[in-house]
Amino acid sequence: MNKKHYWLILLNPLFLLVYALGLRTLSRFFQWGGVARRFPLIALLGGAGILWFIIWTIVYFRRKKRKVMKDNFVLPALLAELIVFVILTGFYGRQIYHSAQPYNGKLAWVLDDLRNTRKIDFEQRDFSQYGLDGIVTALEEGAGLSKDSELYTANTFSVTISADGMIERVDGYLYSFGAEENGTEEDRIDENGTEEGNQEQSWLISYDSSADKKMTVRLNGAVNTDYREQERLSPMFAMADALREQGLPEISSGRSSWTMSYSGYTTEVCGSNWYQLTGEGDLASYFWNNYGENKDAFFLNISSEGAEIAAIFCGEGTMETQQQAEEKSEAEEDIAAAQEEGKTLLTDQDGSMTFYLDADNSMRLEVTDAAAGSRFYEFYNGDIHNTDPFDGNIGTAEGIYFMDARKGFILLTYASQDSSSMYYTNDGGTNFQQVTLPVDEAAEDMEGNEFSFTTGDMDYTETPYEEGGVLHVRVSTSAADVGTYALLFTSADAGVTWEYAGVQTLSGE
C-alpha cells in the first residue's frame, strides 16, 4: 500500500463530511460566538478527525506492503477527494477570514480586544494620599501614556471615592497627543490640528474595585478633538487636589461613598453648595445665586447616591472650539493681509464690514440690530463714532471705500436689492451726505437699448473704485444686473462732483 492509498482512505467521504461539518460549525462560531452551544461540537468533530488521522496512520504503517486496490482507480478518486478538500477549506476559510475583519464578526472583536484592551495594575488607589495622580501613574505604567502629557476628557469623567478615601470606580474616556514639548501650544499644532510629531492616543477607562482589582483600559478609539481646550483634565486635578487637602463638610458627613464628575468647560446650573477654586488653590464658599445661571467655567460636580452635594468651579469667560480657533486664526490672517495690501474690504458673518485703508487705518460699519431682513449700523473710524451713518435709513451695507482717512463712501442697499444709495464724507465719517449722480444725462445714450431700460431704472449704485487717479462708479438696475448694463460716472475731485462717462455693457462697450 503506497502513499496514494494512504491519502485516498484518509480523505474518504465520511472524513470529508465530518471535516465540512466541523468547518461550518467553526466558521459560525467565529462569526457569532456561542461557546456553550458550538464549542462542544467543534471539540467532538475535531477530536474525531484527529483520532481518525492517528488510527489510520498506525494502520497504514503496519500494512504498508499490502495492496488494497488497483492503481488506475486510486489517482482519479484521490484527485476528486483533494478537490473537495480544497473547496471546503477555501470556502469556509474565506468565511472565517471575513469574520476576522473589523466589525464583521465575533472573531474580529476578540482580535480587537487582544490588540487594544489592557488589564493594568491600579495600586495607588488611596485618594487621600495620591489624589487622582494614581490614575495617571497606572496609565503611564500599563497603557502607554507619555509622562508629562496634557490629558483631555472626551466625555464625563467620573471617580467614586469610598468613605475611607479609596478610589472605588473610575469611568471616562481620555485622550492626549503625547508629552509636552518646548514652545507654545500654537508652535506644536500642525495644519491638521494635532501636535507635531505626536500621534493622537485615547484611553477608555473602566474600573470597579468590587468586580476586578485591575483597571480595564481600551486603546486607540476615535475621539472628536474639536473641543480640546474645553476638555482639559488639569482643572479637575487642581480642584480634586484642593478637595483632598481641605475637604468639605458635606462629604465627610457619614456617607459611604461620593462621586466626582467632570466634563470640562461648560455652563452649569446647580442648586447646592458652591465652592470656587481661588488663584491660591484654596476652596472658597460661594453662593450659587450670586454666581448666576449662565457663567462659563470648569466644573467639578460632587454627588452621593444620585444627589448633588456640592459644585466646585474655576475660571470663567468664553472658550473656543478647535474649529472656531482655526476660523479665528484664518480671519486674523485675512486681516493682516488686508492691512498689508490696503484698500481691502472684509465682511463678518453678521454682516459687519471693515475697510482696511492701510496698516494703520480702518473704517468699520458694525451691525447693532436687525429686523425683517434689514440691519442698523454704526460707523467707526479711529476716534470717530457715528451712530446713524445712513441718516435713518435701514437696509444692508453694500460696501465701504475710502481714498484717505478723511474722504470716502459707504453704500446701503435695500431688502429687494433693486436699488442702493451712496453716502459721502470728507471729515472721516463724522457726517455723511447722500450722493446724487447725474443719471438723467444718460437718457440719449440709453434710447433703444436692448434691455429697454430707462434712466428711471438705473438706481443701483455699486462701490466706487480708483483707476488712473480718477474715481469711477457704476450704476445699474439691480444687484442681479451688475456687469450686464451700467452707467459709468467719474470724479476728478475725490468724489465732490461727478460726470457722466457713458454706458457699459457686458461686452465692455
Alpha helix stretches (DSSP H) within 117-249 = 127-130, 133-142, 185-188, 234-246
Task: Name which of 237, 235, 233, 253 is nearest 245 in CA terms.
Answer: 237
Question: How far, in Å, CA of 156 to CA of 334, rounded?
Answer: 37
State whether residue 36 is helix, strand or coil: helix
Question: How far, in Å, CA of 481 to CA of 5, rounded?
Answer: 93
Kindly report, residue by residue over 265-286, the tens digit of the pLDDT.
Answer: 887 666 667 888 888 888 887 7
pLDDT score at 1: 56
pLDDT score at 7: 84
pLDDT exceeds 60 at position 190:
no
Question: How far, in Å, CA of 154 to CA of 231, rounded?
Answer: 7
Q: In the predicted model, what is the mean pLDDT of residues 182-204?
A: 56
pLDDT exceeds 50 at position 193:
no
pLDDT exceeds 70 at position 205:
yes
State whether residue 239 is helix, strand or coil: helix
**Residue 21, C-beta contacts closer than 8 angstroms, at least 6 positions apart:** 45
Find the helix packing angle between 35-62 and 13-32, rounded to 10°: 150
What share of the chain has pLDDT > 70, as a percent? 89
State the chain's mean pLDDT as an integer. Answer: 86
Please answer whether residues 180 and 257 qualify as being in contact, where contact means their C-beta atoms are separated by less than 8 angstroms: no
Find the helix packing angle between 35-62 and 3-10, rounded to 10°: 150
Question: How far, in Å, CA of 342 to CA of 361, rounded?
Answer: 9
Q: What is the value of pTM for the model shown? A: 0.57
Alpha-carbon separation of residue 257 from 244, 306, 307 (angstroms) = 14, 11, 12
Please answer whether residues 492 and 470 qualify as being in contact, where contact means their C-beta atoms are separated by less than 8 angstroms: yes
Confidence bin at 185 (pLDDT 50/70/90): very low
Kindly report, residue by residue over 313-357, the tens digit of the pLDDT.
Answer: 888 666 777 777 788 889 999 999 999 999 999 999 889 999 999
Question: How far, in Å, CA of 442 to CA of 438, rounded?
Answer: 8
Full 3-state SS string of 286-301: ECHHHHCCCCEEEEEE
**Residue 397, C-beta contacts closer than 8 angstroms, at least 6 positions apart:** 351, 352, 353, 365, 375, 377, 410, 411, 412, 413
Find the helix packing angle between 71-99 and 106-116, rounded to 10°: 60
pLDDT exceeds 80 at position 358:
yes
Task: Name which of 431, 377, 375 is nearest 408 in CA terms.
Answer: 431
Question: What does the block give as the cell for 374?
Answer: 434689514
210: how many CB neighbours lie within 10 A of its CB? 7
Kindly report, residue by residue over 481-490, the tens digit of the pLDDT.
Answer: 777 889 999 9
Question: How far, in Å, CA of 252 to CA of 95, rounded?
Answer: 58
Q: In the predicted model, what is the mean pLDDT of residues 91-100?
A: 90
Please answer whether residues 410 and 400 qualify as being in contact, where contact means their C-beta atoms are separated by less than 8 angstroms: yes
Question: What does the block give as the cell for 254?
Answer: 457619614
Question: How far, in Å, CA of 176 to CA of 190, rounded?
Answer: 15
Backbone Cα Rg of the chain: 39
On the CB side of 85, CA atoms within 13 Å amount to 15
Confidence bin at 198 (pLDDT 50/70/90): low
State whether residue 220 is helix, strand or coil: coil
- Cross-strand partners of 379: 365, 386
Question: How far, in Å, CA of 412 to CA of 423, rounded?
Answer: 8
Where does residue 201 rank: exposed (0-12), middle (13-18), buried (19+ CB within 10 A)?
A: buried
Question: What does the block give as the cell for 134?
Answer: 494614581
Q: In the predicted model, what is the mean pLDDT of residues 60-70?
A: 64
